[in-house]
Structure 1
Amino acid sequence: MKNITTLLKVLFSAVFILVLAQCTATTSASSENEKTFIVGPETADCTGVAPMKCLQVKENSSGEWTNFYSNIEGFTYEPGYEYVLKVKTEKIENPPADGSSIKYTLVKQVSKTKK
């Protein structure tokens, strides 16, 4: 009986450690796929497949504004505001020839400031 109790304790401990390790791995993986974007208050003329308007985006306050050719699912842009966004990135398997290989999804709108 003592051997069974000891075995159950060892098994329970092993399962607990595996569950804890999986939770940590999931958290790390999701944070690796998140970016912070600063979205400028104006769009800019740009050319993708055709002439279009691009969001102006940078990843930190000291960075340069760059054209953002994709859209951010769940985000509605309003001119005249600067946004700070947390965005999840996902690699797209077999993207269209004229499309991005990354899907961007809004996780959280951190701020919206009138400019």
Structure 2
Amino acid sequence: MCFNEHYTTTQLIRSLYIYGLLITLILKEMSRLHLFIAFIVFCLFFTSCLKDQENDKEKIVEITIYPETGYGASIMSDIWTQPLIFSDNDDNQKQMLVDIIFEGLDIDYERGYKYTLSAEKVWMHEPLQDVSSIKYVYIELLSKEKVITENSEENIELFVSPETVKFTPKYPSEFEDDQSPKIYNALHTKKTGSDNWMTLPAIEGFNFEEGYEYVLNVKKITQVDPYLIRFVLLEIKSKTLRN
């Protein structure tokens, strides 16, 4: 823009004002365009995130199954059993295989052996009710190693609850004459100072009376071949009546 000498001051101010308005309008239109583009990008990103959330997340992991089983029951059952104890190399946290889907798990598990296998870990977008939101899909067995190789004995102190619980052994499984799983009224017990409960069909030499809680000294005997764990009473330290 140029001005000649015949422009009055009023005309000059008016011209500058008009050009200022034009520049402001141009800048506003550019800002609106940028805002519109930013909005489109945000919508595309948000839609992509929603699609990711709607899909299951998957990852190949290495699973370790440990040589001794645990004691536990499904949230949908009052019958205790012997779940496998496992961890994966994604978080290395030991846990019992209870209320966790493990599709296609095909190993002939024997206590005393450590198993390493490959599996797909799946974070389910819509998990089934009463099961973990994480499931596993078996791929292949990588190794099987015997890690408990010697018989052993250990003296431990056990707390015994005043009420029994239902228990069906799994390794090995036991059956009634009609081939239904054998169910014991088992002792509900744990090592003193521990929060990990066990269910024992019997402690050799111990006569349990329901309604009493006990503290016992026992000998835990681990036999390697065939794999077997026994508990033998050494001493009744206390016996207390509970209502």
When normalised by structure 2's length, the TM-score is 0.30
Counterpart CA distance in 1 for 2:223 and 2:193 is 28
- Looking at secondary structure, tell me which structure has more helix per residue: 1
Partners of 1:113 and 1:61 in 2: CA distance: 18
The separation in 1 between residues aligned to 2:225 and 2:209, in whole angstroms, is 31
Contact 1:46 1:53 in 2 (8 A): yes
Partners of 2:229 and 2:194 in 1: CA distance: 24
TM-score (norm: length of structure 1): 0.60
Equivalent residue for 2:191? Answer: 59
Q: Could you say if the C-alpha distance between residues 114 and 68 of structure 1 is closer, same or farther in structure 2, counting changes exceeding 3 Å?
A: same
After superposition, where does 1:18-29 map in structure 2 within 5 Å? none
Letter in 2 for 1:113: T
- Can you give the 5+ residue segments of structure 1 that lack an aligned partner in the other structure? 1-31
The answer to whether the 8 Å contact 1:92/1:101 transfers is yes
Query: 1 CA distance for matches of 2:191 and 2:233?
Result: 15
Partner of 2:150: none
What is the rounded CA distance, in whole Å, between the counterparts of 1:62 and 1:103 in structure 2?
19
Partners in 1 of 2:230 and 2:238 — Cα distance?
A: 22
Structure with larger Rg: 2
CA contact (8 A) 1:89 1:104 kept: yes
Identical counterparts, % of pairs: 37
CA, structure 1 residues 61+113, in 2 after alignment: closer, same or farther (shift >3 Å)? farther
Q: Which runs of 4 or more aligned residues in structure 1 lie more than 4 Å from their structure 2 counterparts after TM superposition?
A: none
1:92 deviation in Å? Answer: 2.1
**Which position in structure 2 is the counterpart of 1:14?**
none
Distance 2:224 2:196 in 1: 29
Contact 1:85 1:111 in 2 (8 A): yes
- Is structure 2 residue 211 aligned with structure 1 residue 80? yes
Q: CA deviation at 1:91?
A: 2.1
Alignment of 1:37-52 (within 5 A): 37-48=158-169, 49=174, 50-52=182-184
What is the distance in 1 between the residues matched to 2:224 and 2:197? 28
Residues 1:47 and 1:109: Cα distance change in structure 2 (over 3 Å):
same
Distance in 1 between residues matched to 2:167 and 2:219, nearest whole Å: 24
3-state DSSP of counterpart to 1:33: strand
Q: CA RMSD in A?
A: 2.0
Number of aligned residues: 79
* Larger RCO (CA under 8 A, 6+ residues apart): 1
